[in-house]
Chain A
């Protein structure tokens, strides 16, 4: 049996149009701008890349910005956004997430780009049907002849199989 976790890397930037994405964009940018100014004092550095490359401790910025979006993550009710199963329902759940600042700038909101990485709980990868993965939640105490509730999830950009265990 192959047990996997899927991860969806959701990129949010100035081009995002959906209401939730835009709220996260605005809140994370304001927080980045405020937190980054703790590191940029007495320098002329304004971009995230410059800070991370030059100021010790600036790598903490992603962790410092996370409290600004926790409330929005909570509103998802543990359902991975965007990824549909083959009947048009967001059927993947996440039990872990991580914020990644990709780029940003204290003076230029247009440069702000983040990713939220959503990690599913362990899933059984039963089979592949064309481009689709046939998956069900991994239940360690289920016996082999129990019927599994499955979903077909298409392999698609920004969706990764990020761990694999064969048991």
Chain B
């Protein structure tokens, strides 16, 4: 009896292996960040670089309109977006649907933000930012130095068929991102930032989207000029360099390169009685994730004690360094912002 049992167990061994294999293979497609095992082998046809380039190209060259939904740390908000690409010109209108009414118009690097109820307008020149559905304009090869691209499968998002991709970090200094790219064009339809365990920290997605359409630039250009009755603010940002300001990042954080360093008012608005607070903002990027380092004069009244905070994927560290107050913010793990904070050195 026992012998038979043992034999039957051994006999089922191979079956168990087969079942296990099958289970492993079927779940492999859903492999998340932080689970090194069970990753599907990249098919030779999937060229990571061309995937990223396709996504970047789609965001830079397509016209689209729809509704965007954001979720960070359980807070939801949404916006209506109208985006036209007309050769080299880009026109965009983003209407915030939650909270205080706010409209943002953009024509290439010119940005006008309106708060219609408060009758306040901010007019700025801004470098094009990597706002969803765009990815940062970094070279795809550079992104792939720090992230590995896996194809997870196909899904339907916002009524469109999409390829699901995972950008898995090669070290612990950054978060994974899961991307849904429109099957036909490559336009991002959804982008999740994932904690190492696979939990979604932050998500940007189209709820509905219409692709293509004839550009109508006047829908953006006209309201950009109609600022009658608005209090118009034109914050000035001035390029500078970390070294010129007397600072140096003693030990570079692996993978992160300097993108820009500007002296600018912290708030776009400020008030009539108080001049806007000036800070030096240095932005670093690993091609996908961004970190900002703010440096300003220490002020006992305004600056709380050193602390770290998090909201969604954004982690912040604030601390005092002699006469200075440092704030490091980024969509990276707490350890990474801490590393930035710890390696900032005052040179004079």
A and B assemble together: no
Which residues of B approach A to under 8 Å, CB–CB?
A: none
Which residues of A approach B to under 8 Å, CB–CB?
A: none
